[in-house]
Chains A and B, each alone.
Chain A
Amino acid sequence: MLIRLTGGQVYDPTSGIDGQQQDIYIQDGRIVNKPTGDFQVDKEYDLQGKVVMSGAIDMHTHIGGGKGNIARTLLPEDHRQDPVASTHICRSGCGHAMPSTFVTGYRYAEMGYTAGFEPAVLPINARQAHMEMGDIPILDKGGYVMLGSDDYLLRMLTAKKDQKAINDYVAWTINSAKAIGVKVVNPGGINAFKFNQRKLDLDEQNAHYGVTPRDILEVLATAVKELGVKHPLHVHGCNLGVPGNMQTTLDTIQGIGGLPMHLTHIQFHSYGTEGDMKFSSGAAQIAEAVNNNKNITIDVGQVLFGQTVTASGDSMRQHFNHKFASPNKWVVMDIECDAGCGVVPFKYKDQNFVNALQWAIGLETFLLVNDPWRIFLTTDHPNGAPFTSYPHLIRLLMDRSFRNEVLATIHPEAQKMTTLASITREYTLQEIAIMTRAGAAKLIGLKDRGGLSAGNWADITVYTDNTDRQKMFEKPDYVFKDGELVVVDGKVVHTKWGTTHTVKPDFDPSVEQGLKDYFDRYLTMKLGNFKISDDEITEDGRGSITVHPLRA
């Protein structure tokens, strides 16, 4: 079937198309060139006056894995505020802070998103991450596998294993966990917490291993680069949430020595210690460092006001943060000599000085980083806010007067501590398309997503232009997933199953000798049972695996 989307204003940064009127043809799920000669259009959508972008990609969202399910179990009262009934098309579930899997898929699609990437896949919990994501309809998905606090890597570092050996281990782990990237969370800190260390700065040693976060970042960033994995090492840095952590973040950027590195939810790592409250914005310094270091990419982790729940692999910092739990209940876990997690409900309040300044710091970061190809729109769902707040966030970025109206309502001392009012920048539609589509696809290394040129999969979102950008982005006219119409007027009309994006870097099979010995001696599962096979994702007939190319 040949589908034509006629006359829309197309924003396709990958092809350099910035709002020009252009027709798009879809056949067999993909975008094709206009056929030559006589041809018959089977279905046409008149998009005169509409805005056309590719489907949005959330490059950092906690949508799969054990800590998310702990968060769900912890908060029945939150679900009760947002029940979602089944329809003849959709399954029932719940929404708000940590929606059920089916509702996650529907609500992302209803905002024009067609892919989401879980950034904290513990190797030992990767099965669960894939099983949960396997129950998220419509969206494509993928995961970044977490390393850096696993005892195996730390033992390798203590034993001074060479980079080649570490590369083999990293590649083996990516393959075993069916991941598309590598993440490190509080490098070595989750492990140090198990030895009762309560903080771990960039150059502070793990009490048992003598290894520092700096050592871990260097070997992992090098491994990712040398393996040819396109997504740079995805870093949740040291000292999350600690006043003054801006300096740690700047040192982390300098310390990586030009290697590609993605610093995630950087808002939580951009705090100074100025002012009466000893808490201030470091966004300007961080943005300057990002602007000056082309090897660095970031996503923001914007805080928006309201109830949410924070779910992180960073057991060390989450244990500290339990003092702020609202409601006052929380979970921290040590996990399988592999990693850990912490789940702490949070209510961000605009009249709380710290929360209000966190909000402003995130926005300052968005507005002070110049290159939209190196910054990504996230709330670190659900940690800064649920993903359903993205249209509101887009309006804050695109509409200065709206932004200043909200600014005028937050805690007065926080208003004094931010430069936000003086920042005139407003994001353009093309910049939004870069941050949420083209840039994200490029950063993750998706070969045929995030663009609207021929050959791409037809993941396409159509909006009605509206100066109220929140209204515009929360209710697309149409969303196509792999060429199938899934959303009309902001409601799911049809569901399908997306694919799981992965990479498969090579490794020396002899890496399994050391691993098998380690598993047999110290772990509680056999090596052969640890590795996830393709059929675990595909056997129910819904899932599929897409392998993306490595850097040549």
Chain B
Amino acid sequence: MVEIAEVPSPFCGVGTDDLKIQVDGVTLKVLENGCVVNTPAFEQPITDTQPRVNGQAVSLDVAVAKVASLLKNTALPVIGGCATDVNGMRGLLALADRCGAVVDNMNFTRARNNFLALQDSGWMNTTLSEVKNRCDLFLVIGADLEVVVPRFFERYIWNAESMFIEKTDQREVVYLGTAPSGSASTSPAGKAAQVLSCATDDLPEVVAVLRALVNSRLIRAESVAGINVADLQALADKLKAAKYGVVTWAAGALTYRHAELTVQTLSEMIKDINNKNTRCSGLPLAGKEGDLTANQVCGWTTGYPARTRFSRGYPEYDPFMNDTNVLIAEGEADALVWVQAFNSKSVPPVTELPTIVVGRSGMVFAKEPDVFIPVGTPGIDHAGHAYRTDNVVAIRLKKLRDSGLPSTADVLNAIEKALREETVC
């Protein structure tokens, strides 16, 4: 039995790396600094250790050969999920390039809210250490932050020491939209966050008015979506008075059509504030189950984010057409490969297509896939790299135990190799 300290987590999105974990054979126990997201993700026991073809246990070689035979004559296989580490994504993209597949990260429809804004007008953003040391006004838009990232406030807002903020409990926290479900945003001295609450669907209107007020435009209405314009005016004034305001949102929580326009309005508002003789930055929240990792690796390998097809021999990005669910629903896809090394509850959509799952041990399927290959989890069963929410910092994931499970990269590289050999012959 050993204890491993300073363990980084790929599960919470913020790259928490102060966990202490006890390893007893293949059993893990989080001893220190766990949370409701990380602790179960680390402690989940291994159940499946052997690949299955049509529900029958087989060797890895047999499973790989079966996958190659299923993919060999496909016209448009889709590789969904894309939840793995950097090396796993490298293998995934090599396989997609080989078989002319579509690569589609399972969180892309949500992340698209950010990508469309970024690719249309850009943004000014910051990272976690800057928040920890510089942020004096923290504005949360439409997200129940402590549910998404339980330790966010503890680690980055109410941190004991900060280089440029004399007392962190004097920081101001404002919620716009969803109210917080708990008290993590209440300062250690007991000051609760200000909440300007409105329905999520009303955020486009509220955010548009906020930006207008930041730019001193005249608003004739007295309230918008139940929020007094005077309160929004006070918030606009705070943003302009803050030395280093930070505005955060979770693209996935903006659950209405064309939410990219909200992200764009926020990002343009932040740019406006930076032209008013002070600083302000955005902090998009993401980084769960390898979504940023998928987009980063796909970005440098193809030039595009992870909703890209290789069916014409070269990468083509389309944030709408290359959606796994659309391709299956419209009968374009002719095979589904689901890659999910982090979360055994995240299973592929049920389809009549040949289905291959390269997934975390413990998956329960409504319909047994043609092939299931259980793989190790990056940061538990093998070392690796993952990106955290600020999309700048890649964390080095540790190997904690010897489970004998192959990595995503091992499996996908073997499939790619088997396909290459069949194509060359």
Complex contact A151–B163 (CB within 8 A): yes
Complex contact A334–B130 (CB within 8 A): yes
A-B residue pairs, 4 tightest by C-beta: A94-B303, A85-B313, A79-B303, A83-B314
Of the candidates B87, B121, B409, the one having the most CB atoms from chain A within 10 angstroms of its own CB is: B121
Tell me which residues from 93 to 145 in chain A have a Cβ below 8 Å from any Cβ of chain B.
93-94, 98-102, 122, 124-125, 127-128, 131-132, 135
Q: Identify the closest chain A residue to B312 (Cβ).
A: A85
Complex contact A83–B315 (CB within 8 A): yes
Per-position binary interface string of chain B over residues 262-282, scored 1 when its CB falls under 8 Å from any chain A CB and 0 otherwise: 000000000000100111010
Q: Does B385 contact A (CB under 8 A)?
A: yes
Per-position binary interface string of chain B over residues 152-192, scored 1 when its CB falls under 8 Å from any chain A CB and 0 otherwise: 00011000111110000000000000000000000000000
Complex contact A94–B130 (CB within 8 A): no
Compute how far the CA of A84 lies from the CA of B115 in the bound complex, rounded to whole angstroms: 23
Q: Does B287 contact A (CB under 8 A)?
A: no
Compute how far the CA of A539 lies from the CA of B279 in the bound complex, rounded to whole angstroms: 41
Interface size of B in residues (CB-CB distance below 8 Å): 71
Tell me which residues from 106 to 157 in chain B have a Cβ below 8 Å from any Cβ of chain A.
115, 118-130, 132-134, 155-156
B130: chain A residues within 8 A (beta carbon) = 194, 334-337
A-B contact pairs, 5 of them (CB 8 A): A76-B317, A195-B279, A196-B279, A337-B163, A526-B6
Per-position binary interface string of chain A over residues 77-92, scored 1 when its CB falls under 8 Å from any chain B CB and 0 otherwise: 0011001111010011
Q: Does B73 contact A (CB under 8 A)?
A: no
Knowing A100-B301, A526-B18, say if A336 contacts B393 (CB, 8 Å).
Answer: yes
B87: chain A residues within 8 A (beta carbon) = 540
Q: CB < 8 Å: which of A79, A127, A208, A331 contacts B396?
A: A127
Q: Identify the closest chain A residue to B278 (Cβ).
A: A196
Complex contact B121–A328 (CB within 8 A): yes
Complex contact A333–B125 (CB within 8 A): yes
A350 shortest CB reach to chain B, Å: 26
Q: Does B15 contact A (CB under 8 A)?
A: yes
Q: Does A159 contact B (CB under 8 A)?
A: no
Q: CB < 8 Å: which of A73, A75, A325, A337 contacts B115?
A: A73
Complex contact A72–B424 (CB within 8 A): no
Q: Does B252 contact A (CB under 8 A)?
A: no
A128 shortest CB reach to chain B, Å: 5
Compute how far the CA of A135 lies from the CA of B15 in the bound complex, rounded to whole angstroms: 24
B185 shortest CB reach to chain A, Å: 18
A132: chain B residues within 8 A (beta carbon) = 300
B277: chain A residues within 8 A (beta carbon) = 196
Q: Does B17 contact A (CB under 8 A)?
A: yes
Knowing A522-B132, A522-B163, say if A100 contacts B302 (CB, 8 Å).
Answer: yes
A400: chain B residues within 8 A (beta carbon) = none
A525: chain B residues within 8 A (beta carbon) = 15, 17, 393, 395
Q: Identify the closest chain B residue to A103 (Cβ).
A: B303
Complex contact A329–B122 (CB within 8 A): yes
Compute how far the CA of A11 lies from the CA of B87 in the bound complex, rounded to whole angstroms: 41
Q: Does A253 contact B (CB under 8 A)?
A: no
Knowing A73-B115, A74-B118, A131-B394, say if A91 contacts B94 (CB, 8 Å).
Answer: yes
Q: Does B316 contact A (CB under 8 A)?
A: yes
Complex contact B392–A336 (CB within 8 A): yes
Q: Does A275 contact B (CB under 8 A)?
A: no
A195 shortest CB reach to chain B, Å: 8
Compute how far the CA of A124 lies from the CA of B40 in the bound complex, rounded to whole angstroms: 29
B360: chain A residues within 8 A (beta carbon) = none
Complex contact B301–A331 (CB within 8 A): no
Compute how far the CA of A149 lies from the CA of B35 in the bound complex, rounded to whole angstroms: 34
Q: Does A524 contact B (CB under 8 A)?
A: yes
Q: Does A332 contact B (CB under 8 A)?
A: yes
Q: Does A319 contact B (CB under 8 A)?
A: yes
Q: Identify the closest chain B residue to A518 (Cβ).
A: B163
Q: Does A515 contact B (CB under 8 A)?
A: no
A100: chain B residues within 8 A (beta carbon) = 300-303, 315
Complex contact A92–B315 (CB within 8 A): yes
Complex contact B300–A337 (CB within 8 A): no
Compute how far the CA of A209 lies from the CA of B274 in the bound complex, rounded to whole angstroms: 22
Complex contact A76–B119 (CB within 8 A): yes
Complex contact B315–A73 (CB within 8 A): no
Compute how far the CA of A128 lies from the CA of B383 in the bound complex, rounded to whole angstroms: 16
Q: Does B52 contact A (CB under 8 A)?
A: no
Q: Identify the closest chain A residue to B420 (Cβ).
A: A88
B122: chain A residues within 8 A (beta carbon) = 74, 325, 329-331, 343
Of the candidates B115, B123, B299, the one having the most CB atoms from chain A within 10 angstroms of its own CB is: B299
Q: Does B417 contact A (CB under 8 A)?
A: no
B156: chain A residues within 8 A (beta carbon) = 524
B29 shortest CB reach to chain A, Å: 20
Per-position binary interface string of chain B over residues 98-111, scored 1 when its CB falls under 8 Å from any chain A CB and 0 otherwise: 10000000000000
B126: chain A residues within 8 A (beta carbon) = 333-335
B304: chain A residues within 8 A (beta carbon) = 72-73, 76, 79, 94
A320 shortest CB reach to chain B, Å: 11
Known: A66-B391, A75-B303, A319-B124. 13 other contacts (CB 8 A): A76-B119, A125-B392, A125-B393, A131-B297, A151-B133, A335-B130, A336-B393, A524-B15, A524-B128, A529-B395, A532-B396, A536-B396, A540-B87
B163: chain A residues within 8 A (beta carbon) = 151, 337, 522
Compute how far the CA of A343 lies from the CA of B227 in the bound complex, rounded to whole angstroms: 36
Knowing A100-B303, A522-B129, say if A124 contacts B393 (CB, 8 Å).
Answer: yes
A127: chain B residues within 8 A (beta carbon) = 385, 394, 396
A504 shortest CB reach to chain B, Å: 19
Q: Identify the closest chain A residue to B18 (Cβ).
A: A526
Q: Identify the closest chain A residue to B87 (Cβ).
A: A540
Knowing A73-B305, A127-B394, A522-B132, say if A335 contacts B127 (CB, 8 Å).
Answer: yes
Q: Identify the closest chain B residue to A124 (Cβ).
A: B393
Q: Does A306 contact B (CB under 8 A)?
A: no
Q: Does B80 contact A (CB under 8 A)?
A: no
Compute how far the CA of A529 lies from the CA of B395 in the bound complex, rounded to whole angstroms: 7
A72 shortest CB reach to chain B, Å: 5
Q: Identify the closest chain B residue to A96 (Cβ).
A: B303
Q: Does A523 contact B (CB under 8 A)?
A: yes
Complex contact B392–A86 (CB within 8 A): no
Q: Does B361 contact A (CB under 8 A)?
A: no
Compute how far the CA of A69 lies from the CA of B86 in the bound complex, rounded to whole angstroms: 14
Q: Does B11 contact A (CB under 8 A)?
A: no
Compute how far the CA of A112 lies from the CA of B128 in the bound complex, rounded to whole angstroms: 42
A80: chain B residues within 8 A (beta carbon) = 316
Compute how far the CA of A537 lies from the CA of B206 in the bound complex, rounded to whole angstroms: 48
Knowing A66-B392, A74-B119, A94-B315, say if A86 contacts B97 (CB, 8 Å).
Answer: yes
Complex contact B279–A529 (CB within 8 A): no
Compute how far the CA of A88 lies from the CA of B420 in the bound complex, rounded to whole angstroms: 9
Q: Does A528 contact B (CB under 8 A)?
A: yes
Q: Does B288 contact A (CB under 8 A)?
A: no
A325: chain B residues within 8 A (beta carbon) = 122
Per-position binary interface string of chain A over residues 192-221, scored 1 when its CB falls under 8 Å from any chain B CB and 0 otherwise: 011110000000000010000000000000
